[in-house]
Structure 1
Amino acid sequence: MNRYKKWFPDFGYTIMIACLLAFTGAGCNKSLDLKPLDQASDATYWKTPNDFKLAANAFYNYLRTFSQSNGDGHNGTDLGGDLSALARGTNTTVSTDGNYNTAYSWIRTINNLLAKANTYSSPNDIKQYVAEAKFFRAYVYFDKLLTSYGGVILVNELLGMNSPQLTAPRATRDSTINFIIADLQAAIPNLPLESAIAASDKGRVSQQAAQAFLGRVCLYEGTWQKFRNGDPARYNALLDMSVANSLAVINSNQYSLFKPSVLGDSALKYLFILENEKSNPAFITKSSNNEYILSVRYESNNLLKTIPNQISFGALGASVSRKMADMYLCSDGLPIDKTTTGFSRTLMTSEFQNRDNRMRYYMCIPFYRFWQNAVNYHINWNWSAADIAISRTFDPFANNVTGYGNQQWAAERQVPNSQEGYDYPTIRLAEVYLNYAEAVFERNGSIGDADLDKSLNLVRLRVNTDNAMPKLSNAFVAANGLDMRTEIRRERTIELQGEGFRMDDLKRWYTAVAEMDQPVLGIRYTGTQYATKYPTLNKPLTSSGDVIADAAGNRQFSQKNYLIPLPLDQLQLNPNLTQNPGW
């Protein structure tokens, strides 16, 4: 690590200037709900390793999940019918920001555990929970703060109400990233291997989870700097670190892609709705999923940990944009403008034919049969007449602005809304494979076939065995006039399209303005079966006859939108804070 010393200094004796925010805490574990643990007296708490473990349990509520995002929305993108202000770039400054306040409240809670650990008599007995605290502090700083606001105030100690540091300026972006990296590096050695975590503790942060997250952080910032003409020594060091940590996870052999042979190419569909109740035709339960490295875990019979929204009900049929639909390759491995498979939009089902299988498992094919939790659930999974009779079909314009629909996250068994028992993948192996491939390419300007085969191609071919889609290789790219960077980004976008990566990706690639300012388009209407099926469709069309779900004039994403504004109340409380550019 000596060659990184310039960029990633030791934080062991560095006192970070901080601000104090009031503690607000909640946890699903009843022991953590009794009282705020940072107000518990030494006589009642912080006396045993189990006290630290129970306190660390609260941190798991900080992970991104179905309803918990960050300041710039994560999911507000160009891949669906998103008409929000964040997606359009029309958001404005706000008086107060719950995301910002919550993040610092969480950081205070984490710092409290670390402060108590400093005086604990047997530090070796609590080193895992100290490591978890450092992981989560890095997680909050990255996922809730840096990706939204850039450099922010760094807090690594508990402060009093009159601490002079409360009016400190925000740290630089480099210092914020260095702080995050230092916490993760300190956490990794004291976290357990996934295989060493007891069954009763499954779901806790593993060493590989911290390495995978460090790989994500370094890829994000390395590309952010690279595409903004930053210092090559700086961004190459970050990319090297991303490669090394992602490879460490891959080589650990602790995880594997979910692809049970009995499910065939439908494995990806059932991965996201896998429950311990019968949620798939083979009655495979969550114990067979070794792909999730870190996840938010839900169980149908645990009313303290229920999915927070009507996920199944809202997922089936939710709008998908034309850009997303066109991104899927054809079965010959080529995009729709290069394929030899006879791509067509004439019939409503035409463009779904001879495509990457992920298209038919992530999206809804018009008027095909689908099953949904509330009313249209599977009764036996044998596709009998009775099973089909209770299903529903996807009507492209029943409750949809683009005509394209989503099916990811929609449970197929009978289960009430908010009581589904499938998990949310905070980090999964497929992302690590894709992080590795991209980091190698961006670091070297190229990637060898061997590296593609041990990463990206495993993801690409997981659900494309029946159509014999070719691997991505340098020869294939050259022979077909493709661009390797474009294809690496395509694979990432397709595989992770429903997991909140797109906005962050567009921002770090420095392409958000170009992509987010485009109109959101839907299906091709003119000259197709759609015009016959919906002769009175009252939607604006392009000159080519494509549905306009959101016109270009509504999209005003600009340079300032790469970061969101700091809340005005914080600027008033601390005169040394500076606002983000353009706000």
Structure 2
Amino acid sequence: MKLYNKFLWGSILTLLILGLSSCEDYLDKEAESIISEDEAFKNFTNFQGFIEEIYNCIPDKQKSYWTTSWNWGDDEIMNPEGDWHMVHQIDIGNFWAWQAGRMAQNGSWLDKDDADPTSDDAFDHAMWPHAWYCIRKANIGLANLDKLTEATQEEKDMIAGQLYFFRAWWHFQLMQYLGGLPYVDEVLPSGEKLTLPRLSYQECADKAGADFEKAAQLLPIDWDNTKVGRNTLGKNQLRINKIMALGYLGKNYLWAGSPLMKNGPQTGGGNTYNYDETYCDKAAEAFGELLSLVESGQTQYALVEFNYKDIYNHVPADDATTSYSDIFYTTGQNWLMPGSTEAIFRGPSYDGNSSNWNTTKTFGPKVQGLVEHDNIIHQPTANYVNLYGMANGLPLDDPDSGFDPTYPFKDRDPRFYHDIVFDGFKYVNASMPSDMEYLRYCSLYTGGAMRKVENASRTGYFTQKLVPHTANKYDGAYNWSANLHVYLPYMRLADIYLMYAEACGAIGGANHKSSNFSKTAVEAINTLRDRVGAGHVHSKYTGSRELFLDEVRRERAVELAFEGFRFNDLRRWLLLTEYPYNIKTSQEFDRVEDEDFYMENDPKDARVSNFREEVILTRQFGTKHYWFPLKINDTSMYPEFGQNPGW
């Protein structure tokens, strides 16, 4: 069976020492040296070398191909030349496209025919094949813990904790897209008939939860503060620790308690607030323990500052000690891996400069080669940009928000100005030829020079949250000298606050809290709003559980915008099929101000006319689209492993 054959049946143990920046000094042995089981597992150094390959397998969503795709919800659209990308294939309902071989490489990190767990090339890694490989590897390690005889208790705990975490983590990554699967928690012998049934999502989550909980009990908060971790002091940031395990323990239970997992795929949206409170309570307790550790100063994690003297150019204030932008990209810092103090879980990123051959050249206008390379552009949809509310904390459509469609960019949530490139925005800072000067300021009004569907913005917006607007031909941020490095964390601290608020809100609304953390659900959301200087959740949204959850979801959309979470969020909330979450729109309007206005004034103060939205496309989804289809070769191997409904 292809599902297990290639990656679960192998019986030769290899000791593979990787070049991962945070874990490179455990052994001075040649990679792929085949040794006996007793030798491979006898001490911490050798056993850790066996585990290193699992770290190496974590895909880099942004750099898994020349141009990549990871935002598949209602948040993003590409220009038509990118229709082969996964984002468009999702738009047209072709969920088969996640599978390698179904179509040409689609920019997805989910599957590859030639995935190689030993490679240090980001192009060689994918979620599906590596998951089964790493699950088997974790099971082999757990089955051989008794051979770890030359080790302290601390070393034994750290080895076991990593293995339990990875066994659960790889299962969970697949479960999010495919639903319940066989939970493989033993070394499957080769040559025997497969009969492992597919479990329900919640049955899988129970097993994953048990593994995450064991990991949390066994692992330290910070490897730097352990005896064994001092061998790689300062290089342990990617090491699996207690905080990562608690974060995924909570996320696993929150997903299990979500409307899709409780009620099953369905249209109509009637069950979008119908959570399983038992699972949500488990999630809240896990997140509560994590946040209590963070806020009491017992961890290496903290929310990064949002403090800018020039928000459009992401220039921190003079008194800022950290920078929000550094979560997503770094420049001029010798290729420092992004994440700062906020990233909790990341995989390896071997070559920072690889950012500049794909990701960093896919966010800006291609008009006249302003941004070079492939004609592929990630563009935020207008319907998603509408989720960025006002600075006072109210959503745009609230009658008291103060939103004025004649001044649509004024007094918005501060994250709007950090993330979104809008009309009149100064896109190029450096000198440029006189015949290119018309592109210095964004002309994103209807009919403007940067509104061409084929090579600019079809929505009226660009984004610079993940890649700065200076990644263009003239400012040259994607040149070698800028040391621009991009990486998207799988989990960061703000996400924990958001998931805590959702879990608590699903149980008892805005004022509910866990037993082990002092903040209520609404206080958790307001912590993030305080960070950016936005208004608190208004009291009109705290009296109703449903209205509060709406605000939690909107806050999640804004804080985690374009980081790859929206698609799975809409699915688990049973909203993927529902209006207005199934449309993608553009922002249309006419300019009132003359060109000189934008050279002399802040573009957010510009007046416009005829401000309106137009639908670009409507996604025609049914219940089957709540899960990806499994591979036919796999589902045909034995009856206990069935296909997802509708496929």
TM-score interval, normalised by the smaller of the two chains = 0.7 to 0.9
Partner of 1:57: 52
Where do 5+ consecutive residues of structure 1 fail to align?
1-17, 280-284, 379-388, 534-542
For residue 422 of structure 2, the aligned residue among 344, 365, 380 is: 365
Instruction: For 1:177, give the aligned amino acid.
Output: A
Shift of 1:484: 1.2
Partner of 1:289: 340
In 1, Cα distance between equivalents of 2:553 and 2:338: 31
1:200 is paired with a residue whose SS is coil
For residue 456 of structure 1, the aligned residue among 497, 521, 525 is: 525
In 2, Cα distance between equivalents of 1:275 and 1:55: 34
Partner of 2:117: none
Partner of 1:250: 291
1:130/1:392 Cα in 2 relative to 1: closer, same or farther (>3 Å)?
Answer: farther
> What fraction of aligned residue pairs are identical, expressed as a percent?
21
Partner of 1:382: none
**1:154 aligns to 2:211 (yes or no):** no
**1:78 aligns to 2:74 (yes or no):** yes
1:103 is paired with a residue whose SS is helix
In 1, Cα distance between equivalents of 2:172 and 2:567: 14
1:133/1:316 Cα in 2 relative to 1: closer, same or farther (>3 Å)?
Answer: farther
Q: Please say if residues 452 and 472 of structure 1, whose CA atoms lie closer than 8 Å, have aligned partners that are also in contact.
A: no
Shift of 1:390: 14
Instruction: For 2:74, give the aligned amino acid.
Output: D
Q: Deviations over 1:525-545 (max 9, x none)?
A: 4xx229999xxxxxxxxx996
2:42 is paired with a residue whose SS is coil
Partner of 1:483: 547
Q: Please say if residues 306 and 420 of structure 1, whose CA atoms lie closer than 8 Å, have aligned partners that are also in contact.
A: no
In 1, Cα distance between equivalents of 2:438 and 2:540: 45
Write the mapping of 1:8-157 to structure 2, written as runs, cut at 5 A: 19-22=4-7, 28-29=19-20, 35-36=31-32, 40-42=35-37, 45-63=40-58, 65-67=60-62, 75-81=71-77, 84-92=88-96, 98=112, 99-122=127-150, 124=153, 125-143=155-173, 145-157=174-186
Instruction: For 1:410, give the aligned amino acid.
Output: V
Q: Deviations over 1:80-122 (max 9, x none)?
A: 1155222332334867764533321221222222233243224
Q: Deviations over 1:119-139 (max 9, x none)?
A: 322463332122112111111
Q: Please say if residues 223 and 235 of structure 1, whose CA atoms lie closer than 8 Å, have aligned partners that are also in contact.
A: yes
Partner of 1:519: 583
Say which is worse superposed, 23-32 or 241-250, in terms of deviation.
Answer: 23-32
Q: Deviations over 1:531-580 (max 9, x none)?
A: 999xxxxxxxxx99634332x2xx22110011111101112333432111
For residue 207 of structure 1, the aligned residue among 223, 229, 242 is: 242
Write the mapping of 1:279-318 to structure 2, written as runs, cut at 5 A: 289-296=340-347, 298=349, 303=351, 306-307=354-355, 310-316=358-364, 318=378
Write the mapping of 1:314-353 to structure 2, written as runs, cut at 5 A: 314-316=362-364, 318-340=378-400, 342-346=402-406, 350-353=407-410
Shift of 1:158: 2.1
For residue 470 of structure 1, the aligned residue among 531, 535, 538 is: 535
Write the mapping of 1:154-233 to structure 2, written as runs, cut at 5 A: 154-164=183-193, 166-194=194-222, 196=225, 198-224=233-259, 225-226=261-262, 228=264
Instruction: For 1:336, give the aligned amino acid.
Output: L
Instruction: For 1:208, give the aligned amino acid.
Output: I
Partner of 1:9: none
1:470 is paired with a residue whose SS is coil
Q: Please say if residues 501 and 522 of structure 2, whose CA atoms lie closer than 8 Å, have aligned partners that are also in contact.
A: no
Partner of 1:548: 615
Q: Please say if residues 227 and 508 of structure 1, whose CA atoms lie closer than 8 Å, have aligned partners that are also in contact.
A: no
In 1, Cα distance between equivalents of 2:535 and 2:580: 31
Shift of 1:221: 1.2
Instruction: For 2:414, give the aligned amino acid.
Output: N
Say which is worse superposed, 393-402 or 488-497, in terms of deviation.
Answer: 393-402
Shift of 1:275: 5.0
2:615 is paired with a residue whose SS is strand
1:517/1:251 Cα in 2 relative to 1: closer, same or farther (>3 Å)?
Answer: closer
In 2, Cα distance between equivalents of 1:92 and 1:289: 36
In 2, Cα distance between equivalents of 1:402 and 1:178: 42
Say which is worse superposed, 398-407 or 492-501, in terms of deviation.
Answer: 398-407
2:424 is paired with a residue whose SS is coil
Shift of 1:227: 5.2
> Which of the two has greater helix per residue?
1
In 2, Cα distance between equivalents of 1:563 and 1:287: 31
In 2, Cα distance between equivalents of 1:515 and 1:33: 57
In 1, Cα distance between equivalents of 2:332 and 2:206: 41
2:157 is paired with a residue whose SS is helix
Higher relative contact order (CA 8 A, sep 6+): 1
1:570/1:36 Cα in 2 relative to 1: closer, same or farther (>3 Å)?
Answer: farther
In 2, Cα distance between equivalents of 1:571 and 1:20: 13
In 1, Cα distance between equivalents of 2:206 and 2:425: 50
Say which is worse superposed, 113-122 or 435-444, in terms of deviation.
Answer: 113-122
Shift of 1:189: 1.3
Shift of 1:203: 2.0
Instruction: For 2:251, give the aligned amino acid.
Output: R
1:220/1:341 Cα in 2 relative to 1: closer, same or farther (>3 Å)?
Answer: closer
Instruction: For 1:568, give the aligned amino acid.
Output: I
Q: Please say if residues 78 and 515 of structure 1, whose CA atoms lie closer than 8 Å, have aligned partners that are also in contact.
A: no
Instruction: For 2:620, give the aligned amino acid.
Output: Q
Q: Please say if residues 522 and 548 of structure 1, whose CA atoms lie closer than 8 Å, have aligned partners that are also in contact.
A: yes
Say which is worse superposed, 83-92 or 150-159, in terms of deviation.
Answer: 83-92
Instruction: For 2:255, give the aligned amino acid.
Output: Y
Shift of 1:288: 9.6
Partner of 2:324: 268
In 2, Cα distance between equivalents of 1:243 and 1:68: 33
So what's the TM-score if we normalise by structure 1?
0.77
1:548 is paired with a residue whose SS is strand
**1:432 aligns to 2:432 (yes or no):** no
In 2, Cα distance between equivalents of 1:322 and 1:329: 13
Shift of 1:234: 9.6
For residue 401 of structure 1, the aligned residue among 458, 469, 475 is: 458
1:259/1:41 Cα in 2 relative to 1: closer, same or farther (>3 Å)?
Answer: same
Partner of 1:235: 276
Instruction: For 1:471, give the aligned amino acid.
Output: H
In 2, Cα distance between equivalents of 1:78 and 1:459: 23
**1:566 aligns to 2:566 (yes or no):** no
Where do 5+ consecutive residues of structure 2 fail to align?
79-86, 103-110, 113-126, 265-269, 315-322, 366-377, 432-436, 445-450, 471-475, 514-518, 596-609
